[in-house]
Amino acid sequence: MMEEQFSNLSPLDSHGRGADQPFSQFTEQRSQKFKSADEEDRFSPLPDSLIHHILSFLPSTKDAIQTCVLSKRWQHLWTHVPNLIFRYCEEHNPQFYESYGEFIVKTLSLYSSSKIRKFHLQLDSSHYYSLNSQIESWILFVMRRDPEELTLEFCSFEDYHVIFSDSDAYLLPKFFYSNNSLQELKTEFCDFLPEGRVDWRSLKVLHIGHAKFTDEVMKNILSGSPLLESLKLKYCHGIHRLDIASKRMKKLVIYHILDLTGGQDDSALEIFSPHLEKLKILGSWGKTKCKLMNVSSLVSAVLDFQLDNYERVSNDFYQKYRNVVKELLEKIQHAKQLKIGTWCTEVLSILEVKAMASPLSTRKCLVLNFRYFKNWVFPGVANLLHNSPELEKLVIKISYGRSLQFNFDENFTNCYDIGESYWTSQNKIFNCLLLNLKTIEIFSHEEHLFENKYALAFVEFLLRNAKVLEKMAIFNDYPFHAPNKTDRLLKVAQKLLSVPRSSPHAVVLFPIPK
């Protein structure tokens, strides 16, 4: 009996914690619960293969195992489910991990399928060491069953982004670097140190978080993954060049390059990927600059990052920032869509107020991704509009989150008057507003978006000057049951609807309260 095989282990609750009752008592209670439903059982007539498929959608292997109490037929069905998912739990003590390790060992010993489609192992990095000696055998068990998707996470905290020492990460075993079936690999707090050539000939998606690299190791991984289409690097360091010549590589995401030098290393990451179509540069990069050497096939780009400063901001430092953003825009000027964040927009504001040239682009869609909408994004937005003469769609997103904003010096900002009247005093010619801009969408999670004087000034400017505008849609996700929100919305709507529109065909749409 399956329940007898598991009788020496306590079951895990919905959070992965051990329950107090023995497994036999647990399964008996579950059996009583489901007996009344036997007459309406619609699953048992289904073929085993279909039930295996259905069970594969359960959030964890623990949930699949619990179905063994339904009937005798169900006792062994879970052992053929193609997914094995062991998720992190909320317990933080070595005793739990010892029993949790026993649970995984017992589960794998009873598992009968010769094929594993998906394997997900998630453990808290502060306690996984107690299982370190067993993890390699678990990975070997999986690799021998031709997995297609493999996730190894040894940290559960989304914001835990500093690798404190070499011992913090799990060193992947030597056999890990040769596999013909793996198509998707995701790791957190794993170190890559292949001794020979990497052979992941079927790999298409690779996500690596919290890892130390050398350029040689990364080169080995990329050359050994000829079918790779998507690469994401999150909180990684030690890489200075990404040389991706493969025609299959279409998407690259680099988030938060770690700077463990205390700001002393003025390094750069060079990216050579002539067939890349989507690029995202996100998060804090310390003092590491991103240099795009060749991204000639780029269609969509996201620049939502910041460089940190470790000393008082000076004009020379401004020059460094200006050069970084300007060079990136020059390399992606052919991309049809650009999404840009607060920090980069404010750096463009410096170029704009100093009347410095910025690269023209052929982009059709511009997305402004701001954490706030204040005066010092205005010149940067004007710069982007002026240098996007073919722009057809403008999207403004104001969202929650830590703001990646530029650290302006007051001596600099006091030299310029950037206020509500900025747009009405504009004497630039915006060709996109005259000829091409047809759609404007504004999204916000802020309660007081409609009372933001800077946002309203910009919206009014667009309505007065976009001559071929067809639609402006304004969405606000803040709950409509919030006090007086509907009244505030109606007040702003009346104001915007009274603004003269340059385009006779323009309509202004607002969310409707439910």
Residue-wise pLDDT for 446-462, tens only, equals: 655 666 788 888 999 99
Residue 511 has a pLDDT of 66
The Cα 77–Cα 63 span in angstroms is 12
The predicted pLDDT at position 357 comes to: 86
- State how beta strands 205-212 and 230-237 pair: parallel
Confidence of residue 91 (pLDDT cuts 50, 70, 90): low
Model confidence pLDDT, tens digit, residues 28-51: 444 455 444 444 567 767 888 888
Is residue 104 within a helix (H) or strand (E), and if so which, with residue range?
Answer: helix 94-110
pLDDT at 63: 86
Measured between alpha carbons, how far is 242 from 254 in angstroms, rounded to an integer? 11
Write the pLDDT tens digit of every residue in 462-487. Answer: 999 999 999 999 887 665 555 666 67
Per-residue model confidence as pLDDT tens digits over 286-323: 888 999 999 999 999 999 999 876 455 555 668 888 99
Q: In 3-state terms, what secondary structure has residue 270? A: strand
Q: Which of 88-92, 215-219, 342-346 has the lowest mean pLDDT?
A: 88-92
Smallest Cα–Cα separation from 66: which of 94, 103, 98? 103
pLDDT in tens, 182-211: 999 999 999 999 999 999 999 999 999 999
In this model, does residue 65 exceed pLDDT 60? yes
Q: Please, which pLDDT band fits residue 125 given cuts at 50, 70 and 90?
A: low
pLDDT bracket for residue 512 (50, 70, 90) = low
Would you place residue 164 in the very low, low, confident or very high pLDDT band (cuts 50, 70, 90)?
very low
Count other Cβ atoms within 10 Å, centred on residue 418.
17
Question: In percent, how much of the chain has pLDDT > 90?
Answer: 50
Q: Which residue did the predictor score with more confidence, 66 or 143?
A: 143
Residue 514: per-residue pLDDT: 54
Q: With contact defined as beta carbons under 8 Å apart, do 333 and 357 qualify?
A: no
- Confidence category of residue 27, pLDDT binned at 50, 70, 90: very low
Model pLDDT, residue 200 = 98
- Its pTM stands at 0.86
Residue 73 has a pLDDT of 81
Instruction: Give me the residues paired with residue 292 across strands.
Output: 271
170 SS3 class: strand
User: What pLDDT does 259 receive?
Assistant: 63
Residue 142 host element (H or E)? helix 132-143
pLDDT at 501 over 50: yes
Between these two residues, 17 and 290, which has the higher pLDDT value?
290
Mean pLDDT score of the chain = 83
Q: What pLDDT does residue 303 have? A: 97
How far from 168 is each of 19, 23, 150, 196, 261, CA to CA, in Å? 30, 34, 21, 24, 18
Please enumerate in sequence order all residues whose Cβ is within 8 A of that of 118, keeping only pairs 6 or more positions apart, or say none.
56, 82, 83, 84, 85, 147, 148, 149, 150, 151
Beta strands in 238-335 (DSSP E): 241-243, 251-255, 268-272, 278-284, 289-294, 300-306
pLDDT at 76: 87
pLDDT value of position 15: 39
Look up residue 328 and give its two tokens.
């990136």
Q: Which DSSP state fits 18?
A: B
Of all residues in the chain, the percent with pLDDT exceeding 70 is 78
Q: Average the pLDDT over each of 193-197, 200-204, 272-276, 416-420 and give the range with the smallest value.
A: 416-420
> With DSSP H G I counted as helix, E B as strand and the rest as coil, what are the percentages for the chain, rounded to 5?
35, 20, 45
Q: How confident is the model at residue 324 (pLDDT cuts 50, 70, 90)?
A: very high
Instruction: Band the pLDDT of 334: cuts 50, 70, 90.
Output: very high
